[in-house]
Amino acid sequence: MSAERIASELTVAILPLGKISDRQIKLTAVVLNWMFGVKTIVLPTAEITSQYFNTERGRYQGDKILNFLFLQLPANAQRIMGILEGDLEENSNKPCLGLADLYQRVALYSVPHLSGQSDQSKKQTDQDLMSILLITHEFAHTLGLSHCDQLGCVMNLSQHGATMCIYCSRWADRELKVRPGSAEERFSFAESLFFNGFFLQAITVYRQAIFHAPKEPLYYHCLAVALNQAGQFDKAKKEMTRALALSGNLPDGYYNLGLVYIGGQRLEQAEVYFNKAIATAKDPRTMQRWIGQAYREILHDVERASRHYLQYLRLGGDDPDVVEWLISRSKLDKP
């Protein structure tokens, strides 16, 4: 994929963490622009303190740094990528070269260092190639792409090849075309704020999404959940009433109640109401699709979304978006 194929209005902030060479910063900007067609801005260098470093293992704690990056996201950018010198580790204490968080829309990679290479020119070339793979792979995660089983796809865990397979490419293109400030983009950002515990800020951004799409019941549902989390129960009830009034095309209140419990991360209760919605729906096939979409868009829960999407297909559904999404995550049953 290249910038010629994408018309993206997204802006990505690049944050050097500590002393990072100008060359590495420029390479990051070039890759993001060339591979994804996004604009970039470079933020002033931020120092990473000892609280992010595991002295016992001699590695930086990547998950903590991702949280730090989320707090540095400027108002004029929709994504942020950090560049670090030094070894990284995941939350499981396993070493890694990069990390990303879809909910926070942040990515991080460590400048690769190659040893045992006497030819400095070749060493620099190999380092650049590895950096390109890392930048592409980790940023793609912020667009919702998961690891891919297709060999030769940059989203493959082994990172074979420098390009995306057709399924990952289609998903990335679709996400890159989301216009900043649109209802969809505002809703996505509100979800990031909500799932990171910034409920008051999420309420404000949910209302911005509703301003652009005043007849979207899902937005009112999520706003109601955020209001409930913030202790504003009367306002939450009011917004939930609006959501129910707008969702007349859906079977009954069971689906709506399931959405409420999804927003509150109470998945067992959500499944109870979703099952009731399926059992009472005039069109169970459509209901399975709506539930799958809720898990996909609200929680980004691939397992649950896939389960309901597969039921949708077994009942005769043929939405190409559902099929492509399942294939891209290797969840589609083989005939």
CA-atom Rg of the chain in angstroms: 21
Mean pLDDT of 6-17: 88
Q: What is the pLDDT of residues 190-242, one digit of tens each?
A: 988 887 789 999 999 999 999 999 999 889 888 988 887 888 877 887 887 78
* Segment 290-296 long-range contacts (CB within 8 Å, at least 24 positions apart): 290/250, 290/255, 291/255, 291/258, 292/322, 294/218, 294/258, 294/259, 294/262, 295/262, 296/325
Predicted local confidence at residue 159, as pLDDT: 61
Q: Burial code of 74-96, b = ≥16 C-beta within 10 A, e = fewer?
A: eeebbbbbbbbbebbbeeeeeeb
Mean pLDDT over each residue of the chain, to the nearest integer: 86
Residues 172 and 187 in one domain: no
The confidence band for 258, taking pLDDT boundaries of 50, 70 and 90, is: confident
Least confident residue range of 105-119, 143-157, 313-327: 105-119
Predicted local confidence at residue 276, as pLDDT: 84
Asked whether residue 2 carries a pLDDT value surpassing 90, the answer given is no
Whether residue 333 is contained in a domain is answered as no
The confidence band for 253, taking pLDDT boundaries of 50, 70 and 90, is: low
Residues 190 and 104 in one domain: no
Of 176, 202, 228, the position where a domain reaches its end is 176
Alpha carbon separation from 92 to 89, 146, 148, 175 (Å, rounded): 8, 18, 21, 29
Residues 76 and 147 in one domain: yes
Residues 37 and 85 in one domain: yes
Least confident residue range of 118-122, 128-132, 178-182, 313-317: 118-122
Asked whether residue 249 carries a pLDDT value surpassing 60, the answer given is no
Predicted local confidence at residue 226, as pLDDT: 87
Q: What is the pLDDT of residues 312-328, one digit of tens each?
A: 999 999 888 888 888 88
Residues 27 and 160 in one domain: yes
Domain enclosing residue 301, as ranges: 183-328
Cα torsion for 128, 151, 170, 322, to the nearest 10°? -150
Residues 23 and 155 in one domain: yes
Burial class of 126 by CB neighbour count within 10 A (0 to 12, 13 to 18, 19+): middle
Mean pLDDT of 294-314: 89
Residues 161 and 290 in one domain: no
Burial class of 17 by CB neighbour count within 10 A (0 to 12, 13 to 18, 19+): buried
Contact 172, 164 (CB under 8 A): yes
Give me the number of domains the chain comprises: 2
Residues 13 and 154 in one domain: yes
Residues 26 and 157 in one domain: yes
Asked whether residue 256 carries a pLDDT value surpassing 90, the answer given is no
**Rounded Cα gap, residues 235 and 223, in angstroms:** 9
The confidence band for 81, taking pLDDT boundaries of 50, 70 and 90, is: very high
| Nearest in space to 183 (alpha carbons), one of 217, 228, 227 | 217
Of 135, 158, 176, the position where a domain reaches its end is 176
Contact 147, 156 (CB under 8 A): yes
Whether residue 231 is contained in a domain is answered as yes
Residues 257 and 209 in one domain: yes
Q: Any idea what the CATH number is for the domain that residue 315 is in?
A: 1.25.40.10
Whether residue 145 is contained in a domain is answered as yes
Mean pLDDT of 104-119: 82
**Rounded Cα gap, residues 284 and 219, in angstroms:** 23
Predicted local confidence at residue 4, as pLDDT: 47
How does DSSP assign 269-289, residue by residue? HHHHHHHHHHHH-S-HHHHHH
**Rounded Cα gap, residues 169 and 171, in angstroms:** 5
Whether residue 334 is contained in a domain is answered as no
pTM tops 0.85: no
Residues 75 and 138 in one domain: yes
Of 161, 176, 191, the position where a domain reaches its end is 176
The confidence band for 288, taking pLDDT boundaries of 50, 70 and 90, is: very high
